Structure 1
Amino acid sequence: MNVIAIFDIGKTNKKLFLFDEHYRIVWEKSEQFEEITDEDGDSCDDLDRLTNWVTASLAEVMALPEFTVKAVNVSAYGASLVYIDQAGQPIAPLYNYLKAYPDKLLHQLFDAYGGESALTRQTASPSLGSLNSGLQLYRLKYEQPDLFAKLGFALHLPQYISHVISSWPVSDLTSIGCHTMLWDFDRQAYHQWVMDEKLDTRLAPIVASDFTRLTVVGGDTVPVGVGLHDSSSALIPYLASFQEPFVLISTGTWCVSMNPFNSRPLTPEELQYDCLNYMHYKGQPVKSARLFAGYEHEQQVKRLAEHFQVPVGQYKQVAYHPEIIDQLRHRASQVTTEQDAKGNQLLSMKGSLFGQRNLAEFDTYEEAYHQLILDIISQQLISTNLVLAGSPVKRIFVDGGFGKNPIYMNLLATAFPAIEVYAASVAQASSLGAALAIHHEWNSYPLPGDCVELKKYTAHAVAH
């Protein structure tokens, strides 16, 4: 059977999938590694172990008699750099993107390039410390000059995994364009600071995200893709399936609203609300807005479980009750709001709204849980509206955890009455996206139009 092998490297799970020519998963393996620590004692992924696992796992599938591997590609988490020397060997740990970033260095860069708001707007990157991977490279240059002198290339993690297989050091726009602070979206080139610091010479040549290189693997010559940033990769099955403009709300720890049909430049206000650009695998910006709602939900259901003395997973049993929502909407809110420059009330997007509420005011767990989702949706509405503005979107797709939550989905449909709202599910979206990106290199069948399963939600009118 002809298959494509896809490595899907997440923060928690490292996976390898084989997809057949109809993009069905026919074989898989998954592994979790213990994290190790870097020289400062901060936790990070075990790069040696990951590298060895990739090599050994690929050798294992190449040797399976029932499959013929026709191509290989990678989807991996972003905002992480692997530093390799001229020989292609790693010379530093895979630093964690949550590692604290020194203020002094941040101010040094901002002061030199017109201040934080100018630089964040031009690079479409909210200021996120180590999550801006360009700042990690800047830090290496100033804090570890000896190591920097040995640096051949800094590769984003998806490209490093691809390099382990193909020995081809490249950069790809889905990684560079994603809140790295490296890319100037006004000029569609590396930002001036990157050139001035000569960091561009340490970033591998940029190639198209759907490029491959013929590589000998286990005695066979196969095309190997350059790897994709997982958030951009997860969009590809939707772009392959739907031509009409849509917004995808990808829900996990973060809820990211992505609009591939809106390329208007970001404004300073939007950056304050955690808007950013991802990069479409064909190189266009995808206007996106992030909300930390999955994490928030996780924290608050623990708080609810403790207060009401129920299991943490109790929320999975709660059905949607429009009448509870109606009662809650008529109550006075105890949630604080912020004011903008004109004195208008703004809903705070930074922390949790529900976290400020007194749980003793709710009679039942069901009532409190409905309030939690109502609070999340009020923030979600603002976040998603930021990317909807000025584009002719007819549908919203929700994938991930909240797509399976009937209260969230019904409230979202009510919040956007003029737009069709669907729970969408794609098995292993980012892996599938990485396979579809290089479809033309290995698969003679037409692209499948049915990789996304949809369930429609409509707004419920509640009698008053």
Structure 2
Amino acid sequence: MIEVTAIFDIGKTNKKFFLFDENYKQVYKEYIQFDEIKDEDGHPTENLAQLLNWLKTVFEKILKSKDFNVKAINFSTYGASLVHLDKNGEVLTPLYNYTKPIDETIVNSFIKKYGPKEDFLKTTGCFNLNLLNSGLQLYWLKQSKPTVFKKIKHTLHFPQYLSYVFTGIPLSEYTSIGCHTALWDYTKKDYHDWVYKENINTILPTIVSTETSINMNYNGKRIKIGVGIHDSSSALLPYVRSIKKKFVLISTGTWSITLNPFTNQPIIENNQEKDFINYMRINGKPVKATRLFLGNEYKIQINKLHKHFGVPENYHRQVKFNYEIFTKINKNFKHMFKWESLTESKMPKKTTIPNTSFDEAYHQLMLELVLLQIKSIKDVIGNDEIKDLYVDGGFSDNDLYINLLSHFFRNTKLRTTDASLGSALGAAISISDKKLNSKFLKKNYSLKKHVPFIIS
């Protein structure tokens, strides 16, 4: 029997289950999708009952397997989601979706009591106030559903709730608290004053390190059960554990999140035109981050280019970086694309697509997007001495993106990784006693070094 660590990696769409051996190699995987249900206001939300049933069914099946010996289990989930329990440990409300709109009068009353808004957002590391800040959900419940609120014995962040299902022990941990919840004051490294003034702290369980695990007898088997971890912090962990020098990680996809886990100044000043946010490492240290709707805008503009030039919809994947085209565009550079899901002071009022060829228009698009990415990276680095950049996610194999990024950061070492297991692997590492060495990323993440192109 192979000794394994079991991980439930719960995304908004895909619910995944992994088994990793002692060398962090994936030896088993299965995943499922559930249709969302609706909360009392008709807003879509997670089918928590169905999810829990799947969790228990899958885990008990693996425990009975003759191929695997499960020694530990942990949980990685999306953030900005809370589960409220009554005195009997029963779930009181739906798992409210962070996209759910809430009454502006409640947000305004919160700001009136605990603002000014800009100061509040800076100290809590948030970029706006809505249910994406899970702490605000508690204020909203207290104001709009006081009868329900009074019944709350414990409020758990989503990863810690899944751990609670297996242990019965309610806990809080840093990565979930620090993820744009509006609960944490990064200047005093404690819950924000509003949490105490509203007595919210009385329903938030004891804070423990994300590395905490509980040895328990589960169905007659001795298993180490982790307390869960927020997925973005989890995806960062393998890098933090295996890289000795300070670095910045650019995690690309629909959102491009740039993470600086080595900052001494998590509060970003002068945040106009920036989507800034804070995360937290497993030991409570801040992670300064900026976010850019890069992949979303890329998709919108690529569809327009395909239609304009009449090329197949996957043609853009074949286009390689061309030095002559780049030089031509860069020599007399001007902004040509009007963004639909991004805002930038330099963008024109109307898109002007270069008429020469798809390849040239694509180079123009990528140059403009990378310039936004560069700004995002520089904002997150600030005054910190950082000479190493890592890129993972969807743009890590985009030839133009990588060539342009390495060109504009010529004095920085740029590397790409294939971190498809990302948050799941991080969840396994967080409860392991095994140390990672410098070869971990090369062995497990297909680490590649990139050299800037030669300027002629």
* Paired residue secondary structure (1:397): strand
Say whether the 8 Å CA contact 1:84–1:154 is kept in structure 2: yes
| Structure 1 residues 342-390: Cα deviation after superposition (integer angstroms, max 9, x where no partner) | xxxxxx9636988965354332222222222111111111110012122
Say whether the 8 Å CA contact 1:266–1:275 is kept in structure 2: no
1:306 is displaced (CA, Å) by 2.5
Letter in 1 for 2:106: L
Say whether the 8 Å CA contact 1:15–1:30 is kept in structure 2: yes
Distance 2:364 2:166 in 1: 49
Residues 154, 313 of structure 1: alpha-carbon distance in 2 compared, 3 angstrom cutoff: farther
Matched, 1:370 2:363: yes
Say whether the 8 Å CA contact 2:180–2:277 is kept in structure 1: yes
Distance 2:447 2:397 in 1: 11
Say whether the 8 Å CA contact 2:212–2:226 is kept in structure 1: yes
Question: Which residue is 1:400 aligned to?
Answer: 393
Matched, 1:234 2:227: no
Say whether the 8 Å CA contact 1:173–1:283 is kept in structure 2: yes
Say whether the 8 Å CA contact 1:159–1:226 is kept in structure 2: yes
| Structure 1 residues 299-343: Cα deviation after superposition (integer angstroms, max 9, x where no partner) | 222222222233332211111112212222234524599xxxxxx
Matched, 1:437 2:404: no
Say whether the 8 Å CA contact 1:121–1:267 is kept in structure 2: yes
Matched, 1:451 2:440: yes
1:416 is displaced (CA, Å) by 0.8
Question: Which residue is 1:307 aligned to?
Answer: 308
For structure 1, list consecutive stretches of 5 or more residues without a partner in the other structure. Answer: 338-347
Residues 451, 332 of structure 1: alpha-carbon distance in 2 compared, 3 angstrom cutoff: closer
1:87 is displaced (CA, Å) by 2.0
Letter in 1 for 2:142: K
Letter in 2 for 1:310: V
* Paired residue secondary structure (2:258): strand
Question: Which residue is 1:418 aligned to?
Answer: 411
Residues 381, 447 of structure 1: alpha-carbon distance in 2 compared, 3 angstrom cutoff: closer
Say whether the 8 Å CA contact 1:4–1:69 is kept in structure 2: yes
Q: Percent of counterpart pairs with the same letter?
A: 40
Question: Which residue is 1:113 aligned to?
Answer: 114
Letter in 1 for 2:296: Y
Question: Which residue is 1:54 aligned to?
Answer: 55
Q: Which moved more, 1:218-227 or 1:420-429?
A: 420-429
* Paired residue secondary structure (1:270): coil
Question: Which residue is 2:18 aligned to?
Answer: 17
Matched, 1:126 2:115: no
Q: Which moved more, 1:310-319 or 1:389-398?
A: 310-319
Say whether the 8 Å CA contact 2:184–2:192 is kept in structure 1: yes
- TM-score computed with the length of structure 2 as normaliser: 0.94
Equivalent residues in 2 for 1:274-293, closer than 5 Å: 274-293=275-294
Count how many residue pairs are aligned between Structure 1 and Structure 2.
449
Residues 88, 48 of structure 1: alpha-carbon distance in 2 compared, 3 angstrom cutoff: same
- TM-score computed with the length of structure 1 as normaliser: 0.92
* Paired residue secondary structure (1:3): strand
Question: Which residue is 2:402 aligned to?
Answer: 409
Question: Which residue is 1:154 aligned to?
Answer: 155
Distance 1:266 1:154 in 2: 27
Question: Which residue is 1:208 aligned to?
Answer: 209
| Structure 1 residues 111-149: Cα deviation after superposition (integer angstroms, max 9, x where no partner) | 112310111111111114111111111111111112112
For structure 2, list consecutive stretches of 5 or more residues without a partner in the other structure. Answer: none
Distance 2:254 2:240 in 1: 23
Distance 2:455 2:77 in 1: 44
Letter in 2 for 1:415: F
* Paired residue secondary structure (2:270): helix
* Paired residue secondary structure (1:41): coil
Distance 2:112 2:347 in 1: 37
| TM superposition outliers: structure 1 runs of 4+ over 4 Å | 334-337, 351-357
Distance 2:25 2:324 in 1: 42
Distance 1:283 1:380 in 2: 27
Matched, 1:67 2:60: no
1:271 is displaced (CA, Å) by 7.0
Say whether the 8 Å CA contact 1:8–1:15 is kept in structure 2: yes
Distance 1:101 1:333 in 2: 41
Distance 2:337 2:143 in 1: 42
Distance 1:307 1:216 in 2: 62
Say whether the 8 Å CA contact 2:353–2:361 is kept in structure 1: no
Question: Which residue is 1:461 aligned to?
Answer: 454
Distance 1:336 1:376 in 2: 9
1:430 is displaced (CA, Å) by 0.9
Question: Which residue is 2:168 aligned to?
Answer: 167
1:400 is displaced (CA, Å) by 0.4
What CA RMSD, in Å, does the superposition of the two structures yield over aligned residues?
Answer: 2.0
1:448 is displaced (CA, Å) by 5.0
Q: Which moved more, 1:386-395 or 1:283-292?
A: 386-395
Distance 1:154 1:10 in 2: 20
Question: Which residue is 1:340 aligned to?
Answer: none
